Amino acid sequence: MSDLDTHRTLDAVWRIESPKLIAALTRVVRDIGVAEELAQDAFVAALTQWPEAGIPRSPGAWLMAIAKRRAVDRFRRDGVLAQKHELLARDVELRADGEPDLDALDADVIGDDLLRLIFIACHPVLSSEARAALTLRLLGGLTTVEIARAFLVAEPTVAQRIVRAKRTLAEARVPFEVPDRSERAARLGSVLEVIYLIFNEGYSATAGDDVLRPALCEDALRLGRVLAELVPDEPDVHGLVALMELQASRTKARVGPSGEPILLLDQDRGKWDHLLIGRGLTALERAEALGGARGPYALQAAIAACYARSQSAATIDWEAIAALYDALAELLPTAVVRLNRAVAIGMAYGPAAGLELVDALTAEPALKGYHLLPSVRADLLEKLSRFSEARAEYERAAGLTQNARDRALLLERAGRCAR
C-alpha cells in the first residue's frame, strides 16, 4: 500500500475511531483536552509507523494501546501512575504476540463513554455555540473548517470556541458522568442539536469529493438510539431518531454510479431502505404517542415521512409539507428553515410563490456564502423559464460550494440553462 493510501486510510480511521478513543481516554484522565492530545499523539505514531509496518489488523485497538502508553508516560511524570493503572488496563490488553486484543474491548463501556462525553461537551458552563462545536470536534471527528461551514460562521471563530470550551471544562472540573434527571432536561436540547449536526455532515458532506460520509451518519444514529433508550419519555428525542432514520433510508439512492449527487425527486425509490423507513415511522409514532406539541425534530420527521409514504415523486403531498414547514418556521424561524419552507411553497403553489420568499432571504447574513440559497433561486428561475438568470445563479452556487460533486452538478445545470 502506498503512503498516500495509508494516509487516506488513517484519515478514515480517525473519523471512525477518534470519538471512541477520546471518550475512553477522558474516563481515565478526566480532562477532555488531555484526552484529545493523547489521541492525536497516537495518530501521529500511526502516521510514522503504518507506512512502513502496514496497517494493523485492529487499527482502533492499536491506537488505544499507543494512547495508553502515552498516558502512562504522562502519569509517571505527574506521579499518579499507581492510581491510574487499573483504569488503563481495563480498556485494552495486549496478546502474547504484542498485538492489541480487540476482544478485550467492552463495546458497552465504549458506548457509555461516548454518551458521557457528549453530555460533557454540552455542559451548561459552555455557550450553546461552544457545546455544538466541541461535540462535533470530539465525537464527529470533524475539522474546524467543516464545523465552521455547518454553523455558517468564520473558521477562526470556531477554533476559538473549541479552545475556550476545553479550557472552561478543565477549570470547572466537570465530572465525567451522565447528568441526573433534573439537570438532564436543561441540556437535552443542545445534545439533540449536536447529534443532528453530526448526522448532517455525514449525510451532506460540506467539503471534499464525496456526497456522503456514512460513518458519521451511523455514529449519529447510534448516539440517537442510545439517547432514546436513556430518555424514553422525551418525544423530540424520538423525533430526532425518526428524522435521521428516514433521511438515512435514502442514502443509497442519493449517489449515482460515478459518485454524483441525485436530487430527491430524481431518486430511484427502489433503492430506499425500507427497514430504516419502518424504523423511522415507528420512532415518529413513539414521539406522537407521548403527546404534547411537536418539537422541531418531530416536525422535520413528519416532513420526511411525507416523502417516505408517497408512492412516487408525483404523489408527494406538497401542501401538507408546506403546512408542516409553516409550523416549523413558527417554532424555529432560522434562515435555513425559511429557505426550505420557500422550496415547499414553490412546489405546492408554484415557482413564483417560492421565488418571492427566496428573494426576501437574499439579504440574510446567515445565508451569506451558503450555496443552497442561489441554488434554490436558480431552480425556481429555471422553472419560470428565466434561463439566463438561472444560469448565473447556478454558477454562483457552484463557486460557493466546497463539495466537488455538488459543484459539478450545479455547473451541469448551468450548462443546461445555457442550451
- The CATH number assigned to the domain holding 367 equals 1.25.40.10
What is the model's pLDDT at position 90?
52
Residue 3 has pLDDT above 70, yes or no: no
pTM: 0.71
In a domain, 12, yes or no: yes
Pairwise pLDDT comparison (35 vs 96), residue with the higher score: 35
Task: Kindly report, residue by residue over 7-22, the tens digit of the pLDDT.
Answer: 777 777 887 888 888 9
Q: Name the residue range of residue 414's domain.
A: 330-419
Overall domain count for the chain: 2
At 272 the three-state DSSP class reads coil
Percent of the chain at pLDDT > 90 equals: 39
Task: Pick the closest to residue 95 from 85, 105, 109 (CA basis).
Answer: 105
Span of 18-32, 307-321, 326-340, 398-412 with lowest mean pLDDT: 18-32
What is the model's pLDDT at position 166?
92
Which residue's entry shows cell 443509497?
Answer: 252
Residue 318 has pLDDT above 60, yes or no: yes
What is the model's pLDDT at position 69?
82
Residue 4 has pLDDT above 70, yes or no: no
Among candidate residues 86, 105, 124, the one where a domain is terminated: 105
In a domain, 18, yes or no: yes
In a domain, 56, yes or no: yes
In a domain, 269, yes or no: no
Among candidate residues 55, 71, 105, the one where a domain is terminated: 105
Residue 136 has pLDDT above 90, yes or no: no
At 96 the three-state DSSP class reads coil
In a domain, 246, yes or no: no
Most confident of 145-149, 289-293, 327-331: 327-331
Task: Pick the closest to residue 112 from 27, 175, 198, 239 (CA basis).
Answer: 27
What is the model's pLDDT at position 207?
55
Among candidate residues 53, 74, 105, the one where a domain is terminated: 105
Task: Kindly report, residue by residue over 352-364, the tens digit of the pLDDT.
Answer: 999 999 999 999 9
| Average pLDDT for 28-54 | 86
What is the model's pLDDT at position 99?
43
Write down the mean pLDDT value for the chain: 84
| Average pLDDT for 128-145 | 82
What is the model's pLDDT at position 209?
52
The letter for the amino acid at 359 is D
Dist CA 203 CA 216 (whole Å): 8
In a domain, 176, yes or no: no
Beta-carbon contacts of 58 under 8 Å, excluding residues fewer than 6 positions away, are 99, 100, 102
What is the model's pLDDT at position 109?
59
CB–CB of 221/195 below 8 Å?
A: no
